Amino acid sequence: MEITAKKDDKDLNPSSISHDYINITQDDKNTVNKLRDGYLLSDKNIKIGQNITKIKLKKAKLHKPCLSMS
């Protein structure tokens, strides 16, 4: 995926670009919900909308988030 931003802004960074161009959706059997994106914080918290989920990783285990991009 390639994103080209044509914006004359000194504060432009990869995080601000991703907030403008990436949509996150949660799809289950009966509903499809659009989620707001958040930041991966240094203490392993992921903020999605108003919910904060703590992720505990064991040594040598990988966590791969599943995101749908449209």
Q: Could you tell me the pLDDT band of residue 7, with boundaries at 50, 70 and 90?
A: low
Q: Is residue 37 in some structural domain?
A: yes
Number of domains in the chain: 1
Per DSSP, 2 falls in state -
* Overall pTM > 0.75: no
65 compared with 6, residue with greater pLDDT: 6
Q: How far apart are CA 53 and CA 21, in angstroms?
A: 24
Q: Is residue 20 in some structural domain?
A: yes
Range of the domain at 22: 14-54
7 compared with 70, residue with greater pLDDT: 7
* CA-wise closest residue to 1 among 49, 11, 12, 14: 14
Q: Is residue 68 in some structural domain?
A: no
Q: Is residue 6 in some structural domain?
A: no
At 14-50, the pLDDT tens digits run: 666 666 666 677 777 777 777 766 655 444 444 444 4
* 51 has a pLDDT exceeding 70: no
